Chain A
Amino acid sequence: MSPETISSINWSIMTPEFIILGVTALLVVFDLFMPNSLNRKILGWVGIAAIFAALVSVALMAGGPVRSILDNTFRLDSFAIAFKMLLLLGAALVMFLAVSYEAKEGLEKYRGEFYYLFLIALSGAMLMTSSGDLITLYIGLELLSVSSYVLAGIQKDNLKSNESAMKYVINGSISTAIILFGMSYVYGLTGTTNTLDIAQKLSTLSDGNQVYLLSLAFLMILVGLAFKLSAAPFHMWAPDVYQGAPTPVTAFLSVVSKTGGFVIVIRILLTVFGAAATNGPNSMPIILHMQNYIAVIAGATMIIGNVVALRQTDIKRMFAYSSIAHAGYLLVAVTSLSANMFYSIWFYLLAYLFMNLGAFAVIQLVTEKAGSTKIADFAGLYRRSPVLAVSMGILLISLAGFPGTAGFIGKLNIFIGTFYGTTPHYVLASVMIATTVVSYFYYFGVMAQMFFRPAAEDSKFNIPFGILIVLIVAVIGSVLFGLVPNIAFNYMHNNLDIIGDFFK
């Protein structure tokens, strides 16, 4: 590429990514040259500022036409903007958690890494939302994954953390390899890695053998992605990793990483397999035939996540299974494969971001103080800190999907989707609602601890500034989007034409 072509590229559409990457580089340098005695928290605040700058730049780009650069490998469409907003919002809250994190096990040494690895992972996820090519998609995914592996094991002296990081690396790399294998089939059949070109080539597909290969590719990619989403039966790594990792990292994995996972699901499955015809041009796309596989995974994920969560005594493990369960609900939305899907997934992830990060803020504070992660440590929280207990109560109610909260509207939206269309998924809908009732048990179990049981000790809580911010945003977000969800829906409808843009 000559310098002229490089300068003629409209780099401005990558502004948010550049802001994050630039600041990451700055943080690395600062961290290197800062004297050891200086507190690294300042790096975290710089990171937060960068995320907000990126968020503003993304918001400013909303509503424009679809733009793409670098031979269509990087595209800025409404889908990318909408999901970048989610990622940035989630990452900002995670950073607030991170700056308030007071770990006991020698994390202080690696404080700097802690912040900029978050940012690197974030930029990977952001890249995924904009990828118009299998290669960029893959690079984004790896950027996200590799930094997550390191983050999970950042407490080097903690055995549990080491073990969980090891599990995460091994499982994660296998899943990436499987995804890559699936992608290679797609490349082999079409001779291109650009998703839109692939879609175009596949829409005229009529050879039965090729359809067979493509179906195999679909299943492989689905299996690989199921690992990333912690969907059953490939969810085993999640509880260990969630338990072993520092709480802000767990929060990051459960929200930002999961959003990234769904971005890749929608990008690959819809563009590539939504276009591949099964019986010549204009016939049913492969993905409609594969709907049932996704439905089975969704059902199994919801059942396993919710049922196993019942037996947990460790709050972080319980939230790991809860997070698995929520991945199941989101997969139900994927199964509907309708225009509603984009909005319901986006809205659910938005709701999930608030309720889960808020809950992790409380978990972080309570487990730090208690020095353990038992659910029993929440006993009597209402006495010790009514603010924490009531906030946690509201967030748990939202997680359980009760009306008046964003969690309810999110579930309702997904639920509506299962009943529409030519083949309504009645069984899946019933599984979803039955498992939701099962989830009342463990969410209200925490409530019972907080409100009904006496406290083991009476010491009060000091709520650090960062945690307070997360809690306020989370509670307001959960309630606001539960009472007037149209704020979010209207913004999407008016500024972002996801469906129109997606296939352009």
Chain B
Amino acid sequence: MNLHSILSILVFSPLLGIVVLAFLPKQAEKANKLVGFLFTLPALILSLAVYLHYLAGKNLADFSVTHSWIQFQGMNVQEPAFAVPYELGINGFQLLLVVLTAVVATLSAIGAVKFVKKEWKGYFMLFLLLETGMLGVFTAENLILFFIFFEVTLIPTFFLIGKWGYFEKEKAAYSFLIYNGLGSAVLLIVIMILFAKTGTTNIEILRKIMTDPNAHLSGGWKLGLLISLLIAFGVKLPIFPLHSWMLRVHVQAPPSVVMIHSGILLKIGAYGLIRFGMGIFPEQFKTLATLIAVLGVINLLYGAFLAFIQTDFKMVLAYSSISHMGIVLMGMAAMNQAGVQGAIFQVISHGLISALLFFIVGVLYERTDTSLIENLGGMAKGMPIAAGFLLAAGMASLGLPGMSGFVSEFMAFMGLFKTMPWLAAIGTIGIIMTAAYVLRAILGMTFGKAQREFTGVLDLKGVEYVPIVVLVLLIVLIGVYPSVLSSPLHATLETILLGLGG
């Protein structure tokens, strides 16, 4: 196969599934589910193939592809038309996120097979569109293309929440749409200003232009643009106080969608901040570093404290996501090898852990119609296996050594202690709080006071094992052998740190 076409096939393969689904009758439940699941596989296989290709020592640049696409008329008659090409490419960081997306998408499709109770055809059509959008976001090499894929994720998510969610689904769908719509609006303004001032939207070229001291833009402009980026991606990440929409989504959306949402969509914010914020505006990022670290600490503590007082396990997880994203911010703000690496590790690790936790929540909700900690008390008696995995997921989440969460937190904190020891010290309170809320919630559910009888065949069965086992294995793999992540990241990190001047 031609290497250049692999990325395009990878990104657009889910769309083929939409075409196939369109010809299936609505009522054919099994066929719809099967097709929906099967068409997440090409992206998974191809992304793993790219990963293996990389491990074999080949160059990832072989995969990049460029075609001419849109030419807009210039502003004067003489001026050449300014062009937006179709450019896909991949580096180590992007590779990891593409693999993460493909893995979580496939597992979420399995989740959907279990949890979605109606209109499978529509669900899987939207789901596959969403997957294409996410894969595109992580492989786009120019900002306009990035933005297009970014927006493409918005519409299917709106419908997936609004149609298949729980009681207050429409409200959740609307707040998702409006918050993220505003975020992308700010992002579009940044992109357009960059485009207008430099005539290109290619990320690599922009990086070179903007880090050049004789740049087209003054320092003030760049700072303004970076702050706008921080707001745009801050909605997605989400940074306190732009987070309220995300709580609603986590509670109201169906579990298989939350797996995607918490596992990948939130990561687009981190990806954008690292790749564009840090990559294109390194000097200004330094200026803002303290602010970003403070925001990170606020996120970490705020999320952890509020997670502690929640009675609904879903809310615990939602606040826990906010808290964990704080660590990403802190790692970034450290701006050294350990910090940035920790941030990226946290992005991947949290993607896997939250997908795992929300899958288990889905399983519990399906059987008991509740996600209240109190009502689930004593589940270890009736569903020992599920309780065991829940405990394992909790351990990963609180950062037990040997699991992915530990490596990420350790490195992020190590980085920050080097540059801003005080903030890092305050941040450690968050780690303690994390242990407290995770243990409170999970022990309350597994060994807490029993409110109901867990009898009958309630425990995990059949296909449910697949996502859980795969995710746990991946989490442990990263925990004990972190170089599966760090070696692809090496080159990317070097480029980013070079821009930061060390």
Chain A residues with a Cβ under 8 A of chain B? 336, 338-340, 342-344, 397, 402-404, 408-409, 412-413, 415-421, 424, 429-430, 433-434, 436-437, 440-441, 444, 447-448, 451-452, 484-486, 489-490, 492-493, 499-500
Contacts and interface: CB of A to CB of B under 8 A. Distances in A.
Contacts of B74: 339-340
Given A403-B151, A415-B192, A451-B163, A444 B77 contact: no
Interface stretch (B154-162, B281-289, B479-487): B154-162
A223 to B, nearest CB: 28
Interface stretch (B180-188, B356-364, B393-401, B436-444): B180-188
Contacts of B193: 419
A480 to B, nearest CB: 13
Contact of A452 (B70, B155, B162, B189): B162
B70 A486 contact: yes
B212 interface: no
A489 B73 contact: yes
Contact of A451 (B70, B71, B159, B188): B159
B75 A434 contact: no
Contacts of B149: 403
Nearest to B188: A433
B177 A444 contact: yes
17 contacts: A339-B75, A339-B79, A343-B72, A402-B152, A403-B147, A403-B148, A408-B148, A413-B72, A416-B192, A436-B185, A440-B181, A441-B178, A448-B173, A452-B163, A489-B81, A490-B71, A499-B77
Contacts of A437: 178, 181-182, 185
A415 B192 CA distance: 8
A290 B70 CA distance: 32
Contacts of B70: 409, 485-486, 489
A421 B75 CA distance: 7
B87 interface: no
Contacts of A338: 75-76
A434 B185 contact: yes
B158 A444 contact: yes
A67 to B, nearest CB: 21
Nearest to B79: A339
Contact of B189 (A433, A447, A451, A500): A433
Given A416-B192, A440-B181, A339 B77 contact: yes
A196 to B, nearest CB: 18
A164 to B, nearest CB: 32
A402 B188 contact: no
Main secondary structure of the interface of B (DSSP, over half): helix
Nearest to B154: A402
> Chain A CB within 10 Å — which of B77, B169, B181 has the most?
B181
Q: Which 5 A-B pairs have the closest CB atoms?
A: A419-B196, A403-B148, A338-B75, A343-B73, A433-B185
A286 to B, nearest CB: 20
A459 to B, nearest CB: 19
B454 interface: no
A417 B148 CA distance: 19
A247 B144 CA distance: 37
> Chain A CB within 10 Å — which of B72, B79, B185 has the most?
B72
Interface in B120-179: 144, 147-149, 151-152, 154-155, 158-159, 162-163, 169-170, 173-174, 177-178
Contacts of A424: 196
B192 A419 contact: yes
Interface of B: 69-77, 79, 81-82, 144, 147-149, 151-152, 154-155, 158-159, 162-163, 169-170, 173-174, 177-178, 181-182, 185, 188-189, 192-193, 195-196
A109 B144 CA distance: 53
A340 B75 contact: yes
Contact of A340 (B73, B177, B178, B195): B73
Contact of A440 (B77, B177, B196): B177
Contacts of B148: 403-404, 408
Contacts of B151: 402-403, 408
B427 to A, nearest CB: 34
A489 to B, nearest CB: 6
A397 B155 contact: yes
B182 A429 contact: no
A409 B145 CA distance: 12
Contact of B152 (A336, A344, A404): A404
Contacts of B169: 452
Given A415-B188, A420-B196, 13 more contacts: A339-B79, A344-B73, A403-B151, A404-B148, A408-B151, A409-B70, A416-B72, A430-B189, A437-B181, A437-B185, A486-B70, A489-B73, A492-B73
Given A421-B75, A452-B162, A489-B71, A402 B155 contact: yes
A322 B192 CA distance: 24
> Chain B CB within 10 Å — which of A412, A434, A493 has the most?
A412
A136 to B, nearest CB: 26
Contacts of B162: 448, 451-452
Contacts of A430: 189
Nearest to A421: B75
A417 B154 CA distance: 26
Contacts of B181: 437, 440
B72 A340 contact: yes
A488 B158 CA distance: 31
Contacts of B82: 416
Contacts of A485: 70
B469 to A, nearest CB: 36
A443 to B, nearest CB: 10
A437 to B, nearest CB: 4
Nearest to A342: B73
Nearest to B145: A403
A421 B193 CA distance: 12
B189 A339 contact: no
Contacts of A447: 159
B479 to A, nearest CB: 38
Contacts of A452: 162-163, 169-170
A344 B75 CA distance: 11
Contacts of B188: 415, 433
Given A436-B185, A440-B177, A339 B170 contact: no
Contacts of A490: 71
> Chain B CB within 10 Å — which of A339, A418, A420, A500 has the most?
A420
Contacts of B173: 448
B199 to A, nearest CB: 10
A19 to B, nearest CB: 31
Contacts of A434: 182, 185
Contacts of A500: 77
A489 B72 contact: yes
B202 to A, nearest CB: 16
Nearest to A402: B151
Contacts of B159: 447, 451
A131 B395 CA distance: 77
Contact of A493 (B79, B81, B163, B178): B81
Contacts of A412: 144
Contact of A403 (B77, B152, B178): B152
Nearest to B22: A390
B27 to A, nearest CB: 13
A402 B77 CA distance: 29
Contacts of B75: 336, 338-340, 417, 420-421
A183 to B, nearest CB: 28
A8 B173 CA distance: 67
Contacts of B152: 402-404
Contacts of A415: 188, 192
Nearest to A439: B181
A397 B173 CA distance: 16
A499 to B, nearest CB: 5
